Amino acid sequence: MPFPVRFGNWAVAKILEVVHNGPSMTDVSCSYRLFSREVLESIFDLFPLSDGKSAFSIEAMIWVMRRGWRPIEIPLN
């Protein structure tokens, strides 16, 4: 991953952590997400607000945290 992308990913993760008093995240732009049905149903009404492009992953994390859910990150190698 090029340095500017890596730095931007880190910066967005830290901003989300501070603004939403959320957990420490290392990769917010990762495309892989697993939601429980309950979490998905709680944010489903917000999907029309997204343009569905590359920012969707970060938007989904914001929606989850704003609805009171605590995302967890499971590192993969």
Residue spans per domain, the chain: 3-66
Q: Is the Cβ–Cβ distance between 29 and 75 less than 8 Å?
A: no
Residue by residue, what is the 3-state secondary structure of 27-75?
Answer: CCCCCCCCCCHHHHHHHHHHHHHCCCCCCHHHHHHHHHHHCCCCCCCCC
| Residues sharing a CB contact under 8 Å with residue 74, sequence separation 6 or more, in sequence order | none
Q: What is the pLDDT along the chain (77 residues), one digit of tens a residue?
A: 789 988 988 888 888 888 877 777 777 777 678 889 999 999 999 988 888 777 788 888 889 888 989 888 777 77
To the question of pTM greater than 0.85 for the whole model, the response is no
Taking the C-alpha atoms of residue 41 and residue 20, their distance in angstroms, rounded to an integer, is 20
